[in-house]
Amino acid sequence: MLHIENLHVKIGEREVLKGIDLHINPGETFILFGPNGSGKTSLLMTLMGLGDYAVTKGRIIFKGTDITYAPTYERARLGVGMSFQRPPTIHGLPVRHLVRMCGREREVPVERLARRVNFDQFLERDVNAGFSGGEIKRSELLQLMAQQPSLVLFDEPESGVDLENMALIGREVRSLLQGEDTPRPDKSLEELKRARATSGLIITHTGYILDYINADRGQVLYNGHLCCEARPRDILEHIRKFGYQECVRCLDNALA
Amino acid sequence: MKPISLDNFEFTGHEAAKLGDLHALDAHDREQLLMSGVDVEEQGRSGSFLHMDHSGAYCKTNRPGVEILNIKDALKKYDGLPEYFWKLVDPEKDEATRKARDVLHGGYFIRAEKGAKIEEPVQSCLFIKANKAGQSVHNIVIVEEGAELHIITGCAVSHQTQESAHVGISEFYVKKGGKLTFTMIHNWGENVAVVPRSAGYVEEGGQFLNNYVLLRPVKYLQMYPTITLGGTGAVARFNSVVVAPKGSYLDMGNRVIMNAPDTRCEIIARTIASGGTIINRGHIKAGQVPAKGHLECKGLILGGGVIHAIPELEATVEGVELSHEAAVGKIARREIEYLMARGLDEDEATSTIVRGFLNVDIMGLPDKLKQVIDKTIAESQKDMF
Ligand SMILES: Nc1ncnc2c1ncn2[C@@H]1O[C@H](COP(=O)(O)OP(=O)(O)OP(=O)(O)O)[C@@H](O)[C@H]1O
Ligand SMILES: [Mg+2]
């Protein structure tokens, strides 16, 4: 699904990603850990082709297509979908309208999807105008549900979300990644198959999201380098006990 | 830009025939009317008025409680309308008002009777068909005590390339507890000069809500309607959506004079210069407390042009609350990228943001009119990027 090869990225003069190699298979969810400022968000933004992130070396291959320098909308149309951490407000654009546009030619059952993320009361509001942290998360998720991406990039799904909404978000992220959790007669077999082939790349500090999804693999991003590949729960446990200090040693060994 | 000279236009000799029915217009003119908010089927309208070139062409009332007359007939019927005619606008003010005083082609007189709640809008159109024609009209709107009225009025020319001039005097009277929603859509052409002169007076507890839409080119437009809030609790609100393509020169704004306690006003303008020039004025003057007013001019320059925002606040007594916000900016890259991440290409993303910026939705217009406006915005975006 996604192949990242020796990816180097600069913001201005500063190198934030220093040779990333990462493969994510169809249907697989990959969890990214790492201390603040280590480059996790930068990696997601680069995959989406956003902002001032300049690729100086390496390649990004998505579904066999080299998208390293592709415009953002081409990546989106190929099936990359991203949940933004701090999305901009768009005045005069109601959520309902944006969600409908996320489906492109496909008809989007806006009301039904919105009810699933408890967002039907927000459909007439301008996108992100005065949304709380948890509301932004649900709004982003709703847009992804309409978009039906085959690779979901999610930056800290649990930040700013209360416990009740965490369960709701967890459930919907799962259904986005692993197909519907309840059978839906209105979905064709083809759609169900597509849903099952969805991959994920999720950034988390707390690991709460792991209670809801089947995450197969994980790694730590430390100072622009990936290290310590293991099962996500084991990584989390390790960080809890020892912090990120271990990663430094692990990295030193790897780079030596 | 030098103001136009009205002497270059013919103010006589273009009397139009009376129409039995709006369908009698040819398809081309019907289309022009539609763009100006006029539905020839008269569906969902309380009445219709059409003035063409130098005379009234159609006038019909569909509901009790609302009176629609050619101003010439109203002057006869009401002995010259001594309480209303030229009471808010000074005929000596300038060349335009003097012309309107000397030459009267017609115009509408629309009155909602006391307590009448006229739910469906009255539609009107001031139309210029003849080349070189100068049109001079005088309109009077009266909302009697406790009445409610919505007027949708369009101004249009038959051919986008023709040369013509429009002089229009409008005087609005909103009596105690009355509510007037006045939506004006301008569809002039690239060689048309337009100099409306409008003023209104709102009594105690009355409301004046004004929507203004200008998306098509106009050679020269100058207007500065002034509303006086004369009674306790009176409210005025202006929403303007304005696009100036290449060749358009607009000098426009709104003024509210708050002359009574507990008055409120809001003047909001969204402007886009796409090659043309916009001088966007705004003036709130408050001399009584409590009084609360807000003035907002937001502009985008897309594809060249000039925006000159001139917001003015004038307070003459302690305790008034007036504010203004003026900004001329560009479309934020972050917003475009956000929409591109949802699969919209750069043009789709930009036009979505522009439509949101203009935000015609807040005017609460009838669906069909909104669709026409959306379509016109989409067309006008060709000049922007
Ligand atoms: N636009 C920018 N200009 C300059 N520096 C930037 C910019 N964006 C990110 N950085 C820097 O790049 C580094 C990596 O940032 P990034 O947001 O990717 O970290 P992160 O791993 O997501 O951190 P966190 O866990 O705090 O979200 C940080 O030092 C950050 O300050
Ligand atoms: Mg981050």
Task: Read off the pLDDT of residues A144-162 as tens digits, 9 standing for 90 and up.
Answer: 999 999 999 999 998 888 9
Check B335 against A90: CB less than 8 A apart: yes
| B298-317 tens-digit pLDDT | 999 998 999 999 999 999 99
Mean pLDDT computed over every residue of chain B: 94
Whole-number Å distance, alpha carbon A36 to ligand 2 midpoint, is 7
Q: Which residue of B has its CA nearest to A80?
A: B341
- As a whole number of angstroms, the distance between CA A45 and CA A66 comes to 16
pLDDT above 60: residue B6: yes
- For residue B224, being part of any structural domain is answered with yes
Vertex B318 angle, CA B317 and B320, to 5°: 85
Residues B344 and B297 both lie in one domain: no
Under 8 Å between Cβ of A34 and A222:
yes
Range of the domain at B340: 332-385
Q: What homologous superfamily is domain A2-255 in, according to CATH? A: P-loop containing nucleotide triphosphate hydrolases (3.40.50.300)
3-state helix, strand, coil in chain A (%, to 5): 40, 30, 35
What was the pLDDT predicted at A196? 59
Residues B239 and B322 both lie in one domain: yes
Is the N-terminal amide bond of B196 cis, ω within 30° of 0? no
Q: Could you tell me which of A52, A50, A47 has the C-alpha nearest to residue A24?
A: A47
- Mean predicted confidence (pLDDT) in B172-184: 98
Residues B326 and B340 both lie in one domain: no
- As a whole number of angstroms, the distance between CA B373 and CA B20 comes to 28
Residues B104 and B243 both lie in one domain: yes
pLDDT above 90: residue B116: yes
Q: What is the full DSSP assignment across A68-111?
A: TT--HHHHHHHTEEEE-SSPPPEEEEEHHHHHHHHTTTS---HH
Residues B153 and B238 both lie in one domain: yes
Please identify which residue in the block is written with the tokens 């697989």: A28
Q: Could you tell me which of A66, A59, A63, A1 has the C-alpha nearest to residue A28?
A: A1
Under 8 Å between Cβ of A97 and B342:
no
**Closest ligand 1 atom to A156 CA:** 27
- For residue B1, being part of any structural domain is answered with no
pLDDT above 90: residue B66: yes
| B220-235 tens-digit pLDDT | 999 999 999 999 999 9
| B198-218 tens-digit pLDDT | 999 999 999 999 999 999 999
- Which tokens is B154 given? 């369009």
Whole-number Å distance, alpha carbon A44 to ligand 1 midpoint, is 11
What was the pLDDT predicted at B2? 60
Reported as half-sphere exposure (CB side, CA atoms, 13 A), residue B107 has a value of: 24
User: Can you tell me whether residue B145 is helix, strand or coil?
Assistant: coil
Q: Mutate which of A53, A82, A90 to test chain B, going by most B C-beta atoms within 10 A?
A: A90
Pairs of residues, one from chain A and one from chain B, whose beta carbons lie less than 8 Å apart = 67
Residues B302 and B167 both lie in one domain: yes
3-state helix, strand, coil in chain B (%, to 5): 20, 45, 35
The CA distance from A65 to the nearest CA of chain B, in Å, is 17
Under 8 Å between Cβ of A67 and A61:
yes
- Angular region, A159: left φ>0, alpha ψ -120 to 50, beta rest: beta
- Which tokens is B86 given? 């030229």
Report how many domains make up chain B: 2
Under 8 Å between Cβ of B346 and A73:
yes
The CA distance from B242 to the nearest CA of chain A, in Å, is 16
Which residues lie below 8 Å from residue B303, measured CB to CB, with a gap of 6+? Answer: B274, B275, B383, B384, B385
Q: In chain A, which stretches have pLDDT less than 50?
A: 181-183
What was the pLDDT predicted at A216? 83
Cα distances from B8 to residues A129, B5, B11, B81, B105, in angstroms, run 51, 6, 9, 31, 17
From the CA of A35, the nearest ligand is 1
- As a whole number of angstroms, the distance between CA B293 and CA B263 comes to 8
pLDDT above 70: residue B376: yes
Residues B216 and B84 both lie in one domain: yes
- As a whole number of angstroms, the distance between CA B359 and CA A91 comes to 8
Whole-number Å distance, alpha carbon B270 to ligand 1 midpoint, is 35
- As a whole number of angstroms, the distance between CA A223 and CA A16 comes to 7
- Angular region, A170: left φ>0, alpha ψ -120 to 50, beta rest: alpha
> Order of strands across the sheet with B47-52?
B55-61, B47-52, B122-128, B148-157, B179-187, B207-214, B235-245, B263-274, B291-301, B321-329
Residue with the smallest CA separation from ligand 1 atom 24 is: A36
Cα distances from B338 to residues A88, A89, A93, in angstroms, run 7, 10, 13
Instruction: Tell me the chain A residues in contact with residue B359 when contact means C-beta distances shorter than 8 Å.
Output: 91-92
- As a whole number of angstroms, the distance between CA B126 and CA B169 comes to 12
What are the structural domain ranges in chain A? 2-255
- For residue B290, being part of any structural domain is answered with yes
Under 8 Å between Cβ of A29 and A231:
no
Host H or E run for residue A253: helix A245-255
pLDDT above 70: residue B34: yes
Residues B150 and B222 both lie in one domain: yes
Around ligand 1, the residues with Cβ closer than 6 Å are A 11, 16, 34, 36-42, 52
What band does B382 get if pLDDT is binned at 50, 70 and 90? confident
Please identify which residue in the block is written with the tokens 């790349």: A201
Residues B318 and B341 both lie in one domain: no
| The residue type at A36 | N
Residues B110 and B176 both lie in one domain: yes
Check A98 against B342: CB less than 8 A apart: yes
Under 8 Å between Cβ of A207 and A233:
yes
DSSP A195: H
Q: Could you tell me which of B84, B87, B82, B20 has the C-alpha nearest to residue B57?
A: B20
What was the pLDDT predicted at A182? 46
